[in-house]
């Protein structure tokens, strides 16, 4: 197979240099060009025909969001968003992923070391090169904000738990699933591979769209009916139980499957503490994170399902879980929510 051709678009010369040097050492990846702004990038896309673009969202002359809309309309291809770890950066990156970007990466100089960034960058480019762009692009208008019943106190416990894991393409997949859940749903715990602050913006966005409440998890948060907890970026999230009460433990620790948070960490703990009282779902994403943990859930008596290949942005994690025997049955994305409720 030929090398993955990458175009780096960033107004920072330092970032362009770091990315180019890092990727030049990666087998199977070639940086065919760089651009300091969207106007230069536009011409280079046409002349160089890259397979993947890395795109900053905050740039002069034209912001990355506007440029991304043009790319998705006139020359759709996989785009990795590069943004600073700020609340503003997180919200802009989330908007970009709703438009059709397939991955998000924190900029060098953040809490992620440059060393970690190099490996993450290469991994995300390889994932992006395998993306089904038509699945990544929005097929319908975004869901409208909902008004949650004011009478829902969320004070009772739950005997059931839903655990969901996702990566590349997962922000839109999770939105499609969580917006279908009613407030009567058992507690939900979610791992989506994202850096810090991006998960904050993601949880806030979902909270405004879903009938259930959605929040970024904090250590000790109770798992309650009608609420989904999203693992915070750069922290693992584990399910725990005290008597009839489920809660989450948010902690640091070594990366698992090159990820933190890791789906396997959540699924392993769900197998241990919820057993047959759980339903596990694995959605679109690159790699094998979640396969072993979901198998443990199934062996502990939990019901399990996975997203099918045709509806995945990247059929990696669901494929590995299916091959491992962790998934009972695979479904298209638009049936995942209903099937989870059926299994409950």
Catalytically annotated residue among 83, 167, 269, 288: 167
In the chain, pLDDT over 90 holds for what percent of residues? 67
Break the chain into its structural domains and give their ranges: 4-136, 161-343
211 near 181, Cβ under 8 Å?
yes
Q: Is 11 exposed, middle or buried (0-12, 13-18, 19+ CB in 10 A)?
A: middle
pLDDT at 123 over 90: no
Q: What pLDDT, in 10s, does the model give residues 290-338? A: 999 999 999 999 999 999 999 999 999 999 999 999 999 999 999 999 9
pLDDT at 1: 60
pLDDT at 344 over 60: yes
pLDDT at 280: 98
pLDDT at 136: 64
Give the integer Cα–Cα distance in Å for 278 and 66: 42
132 — pLDDT class (breaks 50, 70, 90): confident
141 — pLDDT class (breaks 50, 70, 90): very low
pLDDT at 15 over 90: no
Residues β-bridged to residue 315? 285
User: Mean pLDDT over all residues of the chain?
Assistant: 89
Residue 144 annotated among the catalytic residues of the structure? no
Give the angle subtended at the CA of 163 by the CAs of 261 and 234, to the nearest 5°.
10
Q: What pLDDT, in 10s, does the model give residues 58-93? A: 887 888 899 999 999 999 999 998 887 666 777 888
Residue 258 annotated among the catalytic residues of the structure? no
The CATH number, out of the four listed (3.40.50.2300, 2.40.50.90, 3.40.50.970, 3.30.360.10), of the domain defined by the range 4-136: 3.40.50.2300
pLDDT at 190: 98
pLDDT at 260 over 60: yes
pLDDT at 114 over 60: no
Residue 289 annotated among the catalytic residues of the structure? yes
pLDDT at 85: 64
Note whether 4-136 and 161-343 share their fold.
Answer: yes
pLDDT at 218: 97
Catalytically annotated residue among 123, 289, 308, 311: 289
Give the integer Cα–Cα distance in Å for 341 and 2: 44
DSSP code for 145: P
pLDDT at 118: 78
Average pLDDT in the 105-118 region?
64
> Assign residue 81 a region: left if phi > 0, alpha if psi is -120 to 50, beta otherwise?
beta
Give the integer Cα–Cα distance in Å for 84 and 61: 19
**Strand-pair category, 161-166 with 278-282:** parallel
Q: What is the CATH number of domain 161-343?
A: 3.40.50.180
Which of 288, 291, 233, 238 lies closest to 261 in space, CA to CA? 233
Give the angle subtended at the CA of 39 by the CAs of 38 and 45, to the nearest 5°.
75
Give the integer Cα–Cα distance in Å for 247 and 103: 29
pLDDT at 215: 97
153 — pLDDT class (breaks 50, 70, 90): very low
In the chain, pLDDT over 70 holds for what percent of residues? 89
Catalytically annotated residue among 37, 84, 110, 193: 193
pLDDT at 339: 97
pLDDT at 24: 87
Q: Which of 22-31, 101-110, 142-151, 195-204 has the lowest mean pLDDT?
A: 142-151
Q: What pLDDT, in 10s, does the model give residues 39-57? A: 999 999 999 999 999 998 8
Indicate the pTM of the whole model: 0.86
pLDDT at 142: 46
Give the integer Cα–Cα distance in Å for 17 and 10: 10
Residues whose CB is less than 8 angstroms from the CB of residue 5 and which lie 6 or more positions away in sequence, other chains included: 30, 32, 48, 49, 50, 51, 52
Average pLDDT in the 139-150 region?
48
């Amino acid at each position: 197979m030929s090398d993955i051709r990458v175009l780096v678009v960033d107004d920072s010369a330092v970032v362009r240099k770091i990315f180019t040097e890092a990727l030049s050492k990666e087998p199977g990846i070639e940086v065919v060009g760089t651009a300091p702004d969207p106007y230069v990038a536009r011409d280079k896309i046409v002349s160089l025909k890259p397979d993947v673009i890395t795109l900053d969202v905050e740039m002069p002359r034209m912001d990355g969001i506007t440029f991304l809309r043009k790319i998705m309309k006139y020359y759709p291809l996989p785009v990795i968003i590069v943004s600073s770890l700020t609340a503003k950066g997180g919200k802009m990156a989330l908007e970009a992923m709703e438009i059709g970007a397939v991955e998000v990466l924190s900029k060098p100089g953040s809490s992620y070391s440059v060393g970690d960034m190099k490996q993450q960058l290469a991994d995300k480019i390889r994932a992006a090169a395998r993306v089904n762009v038509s699945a990544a692009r929005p097929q319908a208008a975004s869901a409208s904000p909902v008004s949650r019943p004011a009478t829902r106190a969320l004070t009772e416990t739950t005997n059931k738990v839903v655990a969901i894991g996702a990566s590349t393409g997962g922000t839109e997949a999770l939105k499609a699933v969580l917006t279908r859940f009613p407030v009567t749903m058992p507690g939900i715990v979610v791992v989506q591979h994202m850096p810090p602050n991006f998960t904050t913006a993601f949880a806030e966005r979902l909270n405004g769209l879903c009938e259930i409440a959605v929040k970024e998890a904090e250590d000790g948060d109770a798992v309650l009916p009608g609420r989904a907890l999203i693992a915070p970026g750069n922290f693992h999230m584990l399910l725990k139980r005290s008597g009839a009460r489920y809660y989450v433990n948010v902690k640091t620790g070594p990366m698992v499957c090159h990820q933190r948070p890791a789906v396997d960490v959540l699924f392993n703990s769900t197998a241990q503490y919820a057993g047959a009282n759980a339903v596990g779902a694995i959605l679109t994403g690159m790699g094998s994170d979640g396969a072993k943990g979901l198998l443990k859930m199934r062996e502990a008596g939990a019901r399990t399902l996975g997203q099918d290949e045709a509806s995945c942005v990247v059929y990696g994690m669901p494929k590995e879980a299916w091959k491992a025997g962790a998934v009972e049955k695979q479904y298209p994305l638009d049936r995942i929510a209903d099937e989870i409720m059926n299994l409950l």
